[in-house]
Structure 1
Amino acid sequence: MVLSSNNKIENGDAIPADANPTPVVNHNGTISGSVADILKERSSLHNADHGSARDHERRASVTTFASSAGDTKRYDGVSITTGRSGRSSLSRRSRILVGYCVDDPRTVKGRRIQMTKMVCLAGIPILILIIQSGISVSQALTEQRVSNAFIAQLEFAIQTGYAVHALGLERGTTTFFVAMQEKSLFEPVMKRRLMVDAALKNMTHWPAVKDGTFEFENKQELTLRVLVNRVFVNTSTPEEQLTFFTDTIIAPLLRWVGDAVIKSESQEQRWQDLVAYYTFIIAKEGFAAERSSGTVFYARGNMTKKQYKWYLDKRSQGNAFLNKSMQFNPTIQQILVDKWYTSDLEKNVTLERVRIDENNYVPDLERGNFYYDQMSKFQSVLFDIENTLTKNITNTLNDAVSDSARTVAAQLFVVILACCLFPSIIFFLTHITGQIQTFAAVLQTKNEEIMKEKKRTDAVLNHLLPRQVAEKIKSGQPVYPESYDQVTVFFSDIVQFTDFSASSTPLQVVDTLNKLYTIMDKRIEAYDVYKVETIGDAYLCVSGLPERNGNKHSYEIACMSLDLLKDVSGIRMPHKPDYELRLRIGLNTGPCVAGITGIKMPRYCIFGDTVNTASRMESNGEPLKIHLSTATYDALTFFNIFEMERRGEMNIKGKGLMVTYWLMSKKATKRNLFGPEVKA
């Protein structure tokens, strides 16, 4: 028998009689009596002979029936105290001490019956406890499910609200820009577009769309519609922009939030807060639409009846839903009293509304900017209220979820403890050593697998980035951009590769590029050249970085270029045996900057006018020729082993007139061009 801290029975060992002559089992499975005596007896039993489980049971059971007087005799190797006779006296004393509840533990049948009684004695209270705790867990899980569903609805409502806010800002700036046709207004449009892109990107939830109810099945489709509208914004009218943003984009988003509120299963107070938030963002959207429509008035000086009616509808919508939201949540009114009512901002907005209601004004860009600025400040006040609402709702909901989680955890703990008390202790004690050994073996295997994967990862990283840069990244050191005074940049592409791709299958195109780049990569390994990247059929590499090599960079690139022309000319495609791959190469020498760009799939990139000029040399070159800039020509002239030909002056895009050269060949030489420590 093992007792927990609350004296519960944790296995089926018998209770020593001298621990408590008349032990009483309570309704919750605990034993009333002297706990200290019980623990003392348990300790003495463990310190005795460690025989079989059957011997322990016999010793504990026989001791239960021992009396304080009589002769000491041996029974199956166990010392017991008896009366004047053996079995009959023992049975009588057993019935006197504990009645007929205990059977003879010396027999197999008695031990089985006793074990059954002990199991029932411990199992019935535990079973009742499990049932009660299970009901509590079920109720707590239901509450937690409702809370989690409400959290999802709240997150969706918040994300959608931010998206509506950003779309309203883009609508206002776009409408003002289209109405005024003023270039200075386009910069705010671009800023608002970035806000919209960020808000749409942050929308992690997307509702299930029923057939025929909504046209945007996913976020990509919605984003595409916005992008298409941006492309044709210069040819549209303010009315078209108002209709597009208000009816096509924002209205469905608001319907989503409304559907989420209607389907909410949360408590009354939470549902009321969500309704307040929903009506408030509708009010804010109404005022945002009013602002967009008002800018058209200042651009034209008046509105048509249809436009003025639309403007009044949106303003009325904003006022009506704002009053409704204040009924659901008094916090909104408190904030408006502090920041809006009787403020200079409210007075300015009211005056501008009166001017618009007169519907007779001279187009005025400056006045339009003032109106837009005042309405935007009003929108900022509303946006602060929206943030306050979401913060309050989130805090309340987080507290409820935390309470629910604590309830679930506590009830689950009780259930698990109750379930494990009876069967688990013996099972885990007998198998814990085997489990530990199994876990150690698995852990060792996993560790070996991790080390293998680490080596593979390091190999891949060293292929993607220079070795020095890769080592810094692995060791956690910062990788700063570095400036190089002199490098030589190589650009190449395949002439008429577009036509070749059009007449080949994708698999054939990829196979062709793979053969080409494999040959070029192998050739690069023979030189002090670093491959930067490939884009389609374009190949970019550089010498002189990341490790500086003095004036060797131009020599390395030139020799490699001549070899590549020979290597590539021998490539033949199985599906086009008569087709000859013709490279067009451009070289340039000069300074550049190199560094790591990006976080996801980081790249080691080079920047500078040197790179641009090398690209221009390639694009203005000819097939099977190496086009040099004057800087590269001067660098190669130093070695006096290259045959170069002047091409003449050319008008290079972005550079103007430039004198360029052809690299024809390399003379054979045995002299050391770089000194004893560097081999060319």
Structure 2
Amino acid sequence: MAGRNRVIPVESIKNRKSPGTKLHRSNSLSSTLSLSPTELNEAIMGMLTVGKRLEPCKRVCIGNPITTAGQRKQLAKMLTVVLFPLAVLTAITAVDFSNSLSMYMNTAEVMMRIEFGVELGDFLMALQNERDMSSLYLSRIGSDTKSDLLQAYPQTDEALDKLSSWPVSSSNKLKEFQSREWYINFINRHRYELDSTNTSVTAEINFYSNHIDIFIRWMYEAVSELNTGLIWKTLVGYQELIISSEYIGRERGYGIYYYSVGSFRDRSHYILFIESQDTARAHFESARMYSETASDIYQKNLDTNNDTLQEINKLRNEIKINSSLVQEGSTSAAKWWFSNMSIYRDVMRNTQRLLTSKINRLLEQNAALDMTNMIIAAAIFLGIIMVSPTITFSVYKLTSNIQKYSLQIARKTKALNKEKKQSEEILFQMLPKSVAQHLKENHSVNAEQFQECTILQSDMVGFTKLSSNSSPLQVTEMLNILFSCFDNRINLYDVYKVETVGDGYLVVSGNAFKKIMLA
């Protein structure tokens, strides 16, 4: 044939296979679309080198994002990356909400017990007044002292009825303290038997003081069980004020006995008076140490009753030296001591009330802050609950779209590699491999000269006449069969096929061929 058109052996191209891959007859992109998912996964895994370079265990752990198993692993990882922070944030919010709720409930419990402490303080004050009137009556039995004592009874009963709950701890095993009704019956029985039992002033003071100690001990236990946070010092100061007030009441009771009789006839009474005074002072100094507010409130109230304090100090000095102007005792002197000490104790009581108001304000502030924290935590928690499905669905859709896009790229890459291999095979048929490689790498190819080589150029005798008597398809089929046979033969020797032009077949061998092959 006159032209330089080159005839390519089709069968040789068909029979060439890439290592590890499965070739199909179609050369177009549509051939990959006809693959089943399993065949496509195997083909892509054969094409990708990432999976081959990894060890089997790592390949299983990491997963190929193009395979079905890899897609599932990738989706699980993406959802984990998104949902794990949401889960952590949800847990933190839940813990914060739980802590705020616990603190709010604890604050409410403290406020309730503080309010009950005020009720209990009123009851203790009434019980102290009854104790003092009872000791005054026993010191100077008379109609006037009996009248004062009878007036104190209903005041105690009224304060007892106002208690919102029975304050004594369940650990107390005394029968008379098991309920309010039991205690009312017990105290009434003691009142009725006062004249018939011929009890002493000291015993009467101890009777009421022991009861007051039980109520105060319960208050200590009740507040100690609470988590009071930053206001614990103020609460301790509040408790110390209550105890100090109780010992001031005891001091008042022993002072009533002193002025009623005229002197302490028994050394133990004098010692009890001094101990009550010192104990009251010690607890009050402790209250001032724990709570500066208590000290400021007390000093402010005491400044308005400075004359009373001077009179009390004067009377205390008289009792300490155990010498009174009224040697035989006087009810009026006892009542004068009682009234002055009541004013002093009222100052302590007012300090307790003002301190209680401040504690309640602090607790209300803490409760408001805890409520705000709970609202914020609840809002964040609800926001997470509402947003989580949207974020999860968005991540799922985004990951699915990325996986679909990756699969499309893999399919196109597979088809492109297949076409590229076929193009390279055609190029290697047209040019020596070394020359084709230089051209692929955009390197220049210089002409070479060889001293000796063996060249064989064959020609088909009568090809022109044969072609004229045959159809183009017959000519092509004949040349394909002939040249395919030549190709199979030269593969057995050190021979390089240069080209085929028409019916011409050009091969080279010798030194030139070896240099080309080595290159």
1:573-597: CA deviations, max 9, x gaps?
xxxxxxxxxxxxxxxxxxxxxxxxx
- The residue number in structure 2 matching 1:180 is 140
Q: Secondary structure at the match of 2:272?
A: helix
1:510-563: CA deviations, max 9, x gaps?
xxxxxxxxxxxxxxxxxxxxxxxxxxxxxxxxxxxxxxxxxxxxxxxxxxxxxx
1:233 is displaced (CA, Å) by 2.7
1:420-477: CA deviations, max 9, x gaps?
55679xxxxxxxxxxxxxxxxxxxxxxxxxxxxxxxxxxxxxxxxxxxxxxxxxxxxx
- The residue number in structure 2 matching 1:416 is 382
- The residue number in structure 2 matching 1:337 is 299
1:15-65: CA deviations, max 9, x gaps?
xxxxxxxxxxxxxxxxxxxxxxxxxxxxxxxxxxxxxxxxxxxxxxxxxxx
- The residue number in structure 2 matching 1:228 is 189
Q: Does 1:355 align with 2:318?
A: yes
- Equivalent positions of 1:176-575 (< 5 A) are 176-201=136-161, 202-204=163-165, 206-210=167-171, 216-235=177-196, 236-237=198-199, 238-247=201-210, 249-267=211-229, 269-305=230-266, 306-340=268-302, 343-357=306-320, 358-360=322-324, 361-420=327-386
The answer to whether the 8 A contact 2:126-2:155 is kept is: yes
The answer to whether the 8 A contact 1:160-1:203 is kept is: no
Q: Mean Cα displacement is larger for which, 323-332 or 381-390? A: 323-332
1:284 is displaced (CA, Å) by 0.7
1:204 is displaced (CA, Å) by 1.9
**Percent of aligned positions that are identical:** 18
The answer to whether the 8 A contact 2:176-2:186 is kept is: no
Could you tell me which amino acid in structure 1 is paired with residue 276 of structure 2? K
Q: Tell me the TM-score normalized by structure 1.
A: 0.42
1:333-353: CA deviations, max 9, x gaps?
323333336811011111222
Q: CA distance change for structure 1 residues 391 and 227 in 2, over 3 Å: closer, same or farther?
A: same
The answer to whether the 8 A contact 1:282-1:321 is kept is: yes
1:126 is displaced (CA, Å) by 4.7
Looking at structure 2, the residues matched to 219 and 323 of structure 1 have their Cα atoms a distance apart, in angstroms, of: 34
- The residue number in structure 2 matching 1:167 is 127
1:159 is displaced (CA, Å) by 3.4
- The residue number in structure 2 matching 1:139 is 99
1:276 is displaced (CA, Å) by 0.7
The answer to whether the 8 A contact 1:261-1:271 is kept is: no
Q: Secondary structure at the match of 1:350?
A: helix
Higher percent of residues as strand: 1
Q: Does 1:158 align with 2:115?
A: no
The answer to whether the 8 A contact 1:276-1:326 is kept is: yes
* Aligned residue pairs, count: 327
Q: Secondary structure at the match of 1:209?
A: coil
The answer to whether the 8 A contact 2:287-2:294 is kept is: yes
1:186-206: CA deviations, max 9, x gaps?
444344333322332214253
The answer to whether the 8 A contact 2:116-2:164 is kept is: yes
- For structure 2, the 5+ residue unaligned runs are 1-29, 34-65, 67-71, 391-519
Greater radius of gyration (CA):
2
Looking at structure 2, the residues matched to 384 and 211 of structure 1 have their Cα atoms a distance apart, in angstroms, of: 30
Could you tell me which amino acid in structure 1 is paired with residue 236 of structure 2? V
- For structure 1, the 5+ residue unaligned runs are 1-84, 89-102, 104-111, 425-680
Q: Secondary structure at the match of 1:340?
A: helix
Looking at structure 1, the residues matched to 232 and 377 of structure 2 have their Cα atoms a distance apart, in angstroms, of: 27
Looking at structure 2, the residues matched to 188 and 119 of structure 1 have their Cα atoms a distance apart, in angstroms, of: 82
1:300 is displaced (CA, Å) by 1.4
The answer to whether the 8 A contact 2:168-2:177 is kept is: no
Q: Secondary structure at the match of 1:304?
A: coil
Could you tell me which amino acid in structure 2 is paired with residue 168 of structure 1? Q
Quote the RMSD (CA, aligned, Å). Answer: 4.0
1:608-640: CA deviations, max 9, x gaps?
xxxxxxxxxxxxxxxxxxxxxxxxxxxxxxxxx
Looking at structure 1, the residues matched to 238 and 101 of structure 2 have their Cα atoms a distance apart, in angstroms, of: 27
Could you tell me which amino acid in structure 1 is paired with residue 283 of structure 2? F
The answer to whether the 8 A contact 2:130-2:156 is kept is: yes
The answer to whether the 8 A contact 1:206-1:218 is kept is: no
1:229 is displaced (CA, Å) by 1.7
Q: CA distance change for structure 1 residues 211 and 250 in 2, over 3 Å: closer, same or farther?
A: closer
Q: Secondary structure at the match of 1:323?
A: helix
Q: Mean Cα displacement is larger for which, 392-401 or 131-140? A: 131-140
1:116 is displaced (CA, Å) by 10
1:283 is displaced (CA, Å) by 0.8
Q: Secondary structure at the match of 1:272?
A: helix
Looking at structure 2, the residues matched to 309 and 333 of structure 1 have their Cα atoms a distance apart, in angstroms, of: 28
Q: Secondary structure at the match of 1:332?
A: helix
1:411 is displaced (CA, Å) by 0.8
Q: Secondary structure at the match of 1:327?
A: helix
1:149 is displaced (CA, Å) by 4.4
- The residue number in structure 1 matching 2:485 is none
The answer to whether the 8 A contact 2:168-2:215 is kept is: no
Q: Tell me the TM-score normalized by structure 2.
A: 0.54
1:123 is displaced (CA, Å) by 5.9
Structure with more relative contact order (C-alpha pairs < 8 Å, separation 6 or more): 2
Could you tell me which amino acid in structure 2 is paired with residue 243 of structure 1? N
Q: Secondary structure at the match of 2:165?
A: coil
- The residue number in structure 1 matching 2:415 is none
Q: CA distance change for structure 1 residues 226 and 207 in 2, over 3 Å: closer, same or farther?
A: closer
Q: CA distance change for structure 1 residues 161 and 359 in 2, over 3 Å: closer, same or farther?
A: same
The answer to whether the 8 A contact 2:166-2:179 is kept is: no
Q: CA distance change for structure 1 residues 408 and 289 in 2, over 3 Å: closer, same or farther?
A: same
Looking at structure 1, the residues matched to 129 and 241 of structure 2 have their Cα atoms a distance apart, in angstroms, of: 17
Q: CA distance change for structure 1 residues 231 and 335 in 2, over 3 Å: closer, same or farther?
A: same
Q: Secondary structure at the match of 2:177?
A: coil
